[in-house]
Each structure stands twice: as structure tokens, then as C-alpha cells.
Structure 1
Amino acid sequence: MTDTTITSPTITGRSLAQLALLRFRRNKAAMGGSIMLLLIALFSFVGPLFSPHNYDQVFPSYVSVAPSLKPFPDPDSLQQVANGAAERARLKLESFEVAKGTFTAKITSDKPIDPRSIRYFDRVNEFKNTRITDTTADRLSMVLSGNVAQEYFPFGTDSNGRDLLVRVMLGGQISIAVGIAASLVSLGIGVIYGATSGYLGGRVDNIMMRVVEILYSLPFVFLVVVMVVFFGRSIVLIFVVIGAVQWLEMARIVRGQTLSLKRREFVGAAQALGLTDWQIIRRHIIPNTIGPVIVFVTVVVPHVILTESFLSFLGLGVQAPLASWGTLISEGAKNMQNAPWLLIFPAIFFVLTLFSLNFVGDGLRDALDPKDR
């Protein structure tokens, strides 16, 4: 007889984090929202590196230009632009030709022409690299040559002649930074405060909740004005002010969850094992409130963006030439009839961010729900 050894296949266990990640990946809406948020973040933070324009660069020749994929300027308008540049230099334009992105102009005058006068051609947005290719001995006539500067404005320009595409990118940077930073502040303070209040209960809970109600009664705008007067106007101050207000609601939500969790069997078992109150809060209470907290954070971020927009509208938030999606939407609403693209493009990115955060929040809630573990 021969001995046969039966080997059982090894079974690899999965941690709670792996199971939650697996459930999250199965949620198509949550994965789509995550991809959309990633694309918006890349557009906002990486896009400016590949743009030839700055967010505060002004193009006087292209004020309130409609979105277009065609390059500017219009070839038919170059003759008029050259005439205007020559008139500002007190010269006469005798001839003007454009061929393959290069212009040739002949200018004359009754007096000798100062070579520095060619700077008037480079001061307009349509021409660049202007140089003198030929001149007469008496300097009463010169031939100029240069390049036609082609500019692209896929999102159009605003009422000051600034590229809206770059400003939407900048607005995404500020809005996303304000939303995430203020939400993290409210998350850090609110979760610890609410879990401590709900778990300890009794007189401590009453005192801590009365403090929250007193802070709730303070006018938000008045608090912002006072802090701006004392500390000055800055973006960092916006993070602190909004986060200092948003944590109050976070604390109430976490307290409500804690009141129901502290009566569960696993909390009683932890108390029987001799764990301290802080250990129970840190290891058992806070991790089991992650689901509602994550969902609430995904709601807080767009709310914070709207709050920042309101502060900027009052002159207490982001100031020009900086911009956020909120300020761009506010400016676009004022020019909605004459230049609707000023409202449409920032609103599209804001709405996409809002929906993506909601989908991601729902996916995280389902993945981190303790009942599904």
C-alpha cells in the first residue's frame, strides 16, 4: 500500500479594508465619480503647466471673445490693427501683407522715424517679434517684418480679456483646496468632539453641546468680518473660518451615532476588558462612524465651495486677479445674456464635481457600512 497525502488548498483571508475596497470597486457609479474627480483634479492642477497663458494675462484685443477652436486674430482684421498701431506711433502705413504667419509692413513719415517706434506693433496682441528689415538713408521710410501671434481661446475670454480656460483651472485649484482643507478641519475637530461628548454623556455631554449651541448662535458673516479685521484678508483665513463653522454640524452627527453605538455589545466587551474611555472612542466608536461621516464630508465640500463664493461676493474671500469657481459663476451670472459662456463653463465643472462627490460618498457609505462586514 502507498500512503496518499491530501493537501488542502491554502485560503487567503481578506482584511476589512480589502473587503471594503472590493465593494467600492463593484459600485460603477462610485468608480465613475472617482474617475471624474481625478480628471477634474488633473485639469485644475496640471492643466496650467501646459497652457501658454497666465490667469492674470490680459488681451485687450480679445475682450469677451466667444469660445472657438479657431486661432485668433481674424486675418481680415490685421490690416485695421496695423493701421491703428501706425497711427499711435504717428506714422503712415503705406502697405501691409501677410503670408504664412509673417507680416510685412511699410511705414513712412514726414520726419525721420525713430527705430523705437516699432514697439507699438508689438504692444498689440496680434503681432510679435517686430523688426526693421529695410530703411531708407533719410529714415523717412521703413519696412517692418514680424510674426502674427496666434492665440487660442477654447473657453473664450472674460470682460477683461483674460483666458477663461486658465481661470477655470485656477478656480478649480482654489475651490478644491478650500473644500478639502475646510472639510478636513471640520472632520478632525467635529469627529473627536462629537464622539467624546456622546460617549461620556451626562453633565459633560450637556456642557459640550451647550458650547456648540452658543457657537451656532453667532452670526457667521459677523465672525468672518471680525477675523478679517484682526488677521487680514487671506486664503488661509478662509480655510480656518469655514472649517471652524462646519465642524459644529459634524459634531452633532457624530454624537448622534455615538449615542447608539455605545450601547452595542462590542463596547460593553471593551469596557469589560478594561480599556479606557479614550481607547474605546479611538478604536471602536470613531471607526464605526466612518460611513455617515464620509457621506457628510462629500456634502460639506460643495457647501464649502458655495460658502466661499458667498464670502467672495461680499468682498471677504478670494480677490481678483485670483478666482474660484464661485467667483467665476458670480461674474458669469452678471453677464449671462451678453456672454453666457462665462457662466456655463465654471458651472459645468462645479456641477460635475458635486455629482461626483455624491456618487463617491454613496459608494464609500455602502463599502464601509458595518452591517455589510
Structure 2
Amino acid sequence: MVNHPEKRFPKEMFEPAQIDQSLIEKIEKPSLSFWQDAWLRVRKNKAAIVSLVLLILLIFMALVGPFLSGYDGEVQRAEHSNLPPRIAALENISWLPFDGTLTSRNGDTLTPYEDKRIEEYYWFGTDGLGRDLFTRLWEGVQISLLIAFLATALDMIVGVSYGAISGYFGGRVDSAMQRVIEILNGIPNLVIVILLILVLEPGILSITLALAITGWTTMARVVRGQVLKMKNQEFALASKTLGATDLRIIFRHLLPNMVGVIIINTMFTIPNAIFFEAFLSFIGLGLQPPDASLGTLIEEGFKVMLLYPYQLLFPSIVISLLMITFNLLADGLRDAFDPKMRD
């Protein structure tokens, strides 16, 4: 073997490495809170992010939409009845349904704006009484979301409190409280609605109460199960040993540890409430004309869908988007809050 002195390694390369004791416990990965970790996982779910953006847009339009067209949704103009959608920037594009024309059953093209010599533009058309559908649609979304959020808030308050108390005390208290839930679940919602309408006038109050009377039972059962699992864990037993009251343990120690479960169930409750309100209004047990909600608009459009399909199309699209976005967002939150789904 031939030695090559010019290729010898310098002695400095063989000196002992210096160990910095301060770096031994150093953690390179940043420390994340529960909410930061959940948000990072939600961001990876493209369906949940798209649903969140669409949901924010729909809520924004529900707030400002009734003021954009310049028409009052309650004003009736008989001479402007059943006008098709027409938008100034899109009326010259023939393949879009915003040119102000209708197609009859015989295939003929009808031009009601020209026939009636109407210069105004109705973005979503008008109904049989000449009311602007764009304004009424977003007013209906307001009412539907209001009913859904009110009913969901009552469900959350009553269901969380009831389920937490039932699960924490257990025994005879739990048994008696669960029998009440079983009785309420055995009564169909439609029966409760009819009874409330006999006592109260059909409207927001009666629908909200009907949704809240039986809707909280699902939340109560979920919270009860979580409390039964957590009440014998170390942090709860330590608080009890230190003299904390039962209510303090429930609302200051147990419930904060199940916030994720509560949020997920709340997100699934909202679309159910929207659909139930629309169903009640569609069959005539909900809001009554001239009040607008997604259910009443769909019911009115259903009557004339063969002649004026746009009156049914727009509210159907909006309620479908609300249902889909809330459910996809709830799925994303469920995966984000589940520790088993962590990378």
C-alpha cells in the first residue's frame, strides 16, 4: 500500500467534540396549543376550508344581500310579476339564464321585459306578486339561520347542562334523568310542532321552541357519556380532594375538556335545524306569508316550477350549499379535534 502524505487528514479533525449541555433538552419542534394544533389539521382538509369560505360568504350575503338590489322584498308590484332573472353585465350572454327571457313549453322564447316595457333589472327575477326574489332570498336565509342558531344555542345550553349533571351524579339521578330523555325522544317532533302552533301563532318562536324541546337530547347523551368517562380521572379526583364543589368540577374542569365534542355536535345540529325549519315551512306549519324563509320560498317556487323554474332553483341551491358546507366543516372539525387523527 502506497502512502500519500499529501492526502493525510489534519489532526484537528480527530479532536474530541465539545458537548453543549444547554442543548440537550432543547426541543426543535414548536410547542402548539390544542387550538393551534386543531387549526393546522383543519387547514390540511381542503373540503373543510372551501366549506368555511363558502359559509362565510353565505352569512355575509345574508347580512348585506337584502340591501344590494335596491328593492324592498315586501313591496308588491303586480305589473312586474313573474319576471325572469336579468343582470345588466350578463344579459348579452345567451347561454346564461340572466338575459331576461323565458322558454315556454312549446320551445318559444318569451321576452316579458320587452313585452311589459320594463327597464329595471331583477337579478333573480320576481315572484307572482312582483316582489324581488334576490332580496327575499337573502331575507329568507337570515330567518333560516336565525332560527337554526337560536335552536342550536338552546340545544347546547340545555343539553350540555343536563347531560353533565346526569353523568356526574349517576345512580338514581342519572336513571331518572335518562327516563325523561327517552320519553321526549318517543314523541315525534311534528306532534310537538302542531301542539305548539295550537298554543302559539306560527312563527319564529314556535319553530324555535319545537326544535329546542327535543333537539337537546342528542347533545345531552353525548355529554353524559364524556362525563362518565372523565369524572373518575386524576384531575377530577384531585379537584374533589381539594374541596371543589360538584358544580365547579362540572363546569370548570370537566366541560372545558370536552369543548371539541360539543363544537362538533353543534355544527351537525345547525344544518338539521335549517332543514327542519324548511320542511315545516314547506308543509305550511312554519312561517306564514308574507314572511320569507328558505322553506316558504321553496314552497312558493314548487307551485310554479314548470312555468317559472328559477323561483325554485335559487333557494334550492342556497339551502343545499348551507347543508353541504355545514356538514363538511363539521367533518373537518371532527377529524381535527380527534387525537387519534394526529400525524
The TM-score with structure 1 as length reference comes to: 0.71
Q: Which residue of 2 aligns with 1:195?
A: 164
Same amino acid, percent of matched pairs: 40
After superposition, the Cα gap between the structure-2 partners of 1:76 and 1:356, relative to the gap in structure 1 and judged at 3 Å, is closer
Instruction: Give how far 1:370 is off.
Output: 4.8
1:21-170 correspondence to structure 2 within 5 Å: 21-69=39-87, 70=91, 77=115, 126=118, 150-170=119-139
* Distance in 2 separating the partners of 1:64 and 1:290: 49
Instruction: Give how far 1:28 is off.
Output: 2.5
Question: Which amino acid in structure 2 is aligned with residue 206 of structure 1?
Answer: S
1:289-368 correspondence to structure 2 within 5 Å: 289-368=258-337
After superposition, the Cα gap between the structure-2 partners of 1:10 and 1:307, relative to the gap in structure 1 and judged at 3 Å, is closer
Instruction: Give how far 1:309 is off.
Output: 2.3
Q: 2:219 aligns with which of 244, 250, 255?
A: 250
Instruction: Give how far 1:345 is off.
Output: 0.8
Equivalent pair of 2:281/2:299 in contact (CA under 8 Å): no
* Distance in 1 separating the partners of 2:245 and 2:113: 78
Question: Which amino acid in structure 2 is aligned with residue 362 of structure 1?
Answer: D
After superposition, the Cα gap between the structure-2 partners of 1:74 and 1:201, relative to the gap in structure 1 and judged at 3 Å, is closer
Q: Which residue of 1 aligns with 2:177?
A: 208
* Distance in 1 separating the partners of 2:54 and 2:161: 31
Instruction: Give how far 1:259 is off.
Output: 2.5
Aligned length: 300
After superposition, the Cα gap between the structure-2 partners of 1:344 and 1:277, relative to the gap in structure 1 and judged at 3 Å, is same
Q: Which runs of 5+ in 1 are unaligned?
A: 82-125, 127-149
Instruction: Give how far 1:294 is off.
Output: 2.2
After superposition, the Cα gap between the structure-2 partners of 1:76 and 1:37, relative to the gap in structure 1 and judged at 3 Å, is closer
Equivalent pair of 2:127/2:311 in contact (CA under 8 Å): yes
Q: Which residue of 2 aligns with 1:261?
A: 230
Q: Which residue of 2 aligns with 1:102?
A: none
1:214-229 correspondence to structure 2 within 5 Å: 214-229=183-198
Deviation readout 1:1-23 (Å, 9 max, x if unpaired): xxxx9998999754333333333
More strand by share: 1
Instruction: Give how far 1:74 is off.
Output: 6.5
Q: 1:287 aligns with which of 243, 252, 256?
A: 256
Instruction: Give how far 1:58 is off.
Output: 2.2
Helix, strand or coil at the partner of 1:46: helix
Instruction: Give how far 1:273 is off.
Output: 4.1
Instruction: Give how far 1:352 is off.
Output: 1.0
- Structure 1 window deviating more from structure 2 (59-68 vs 344-353): it is 59-68
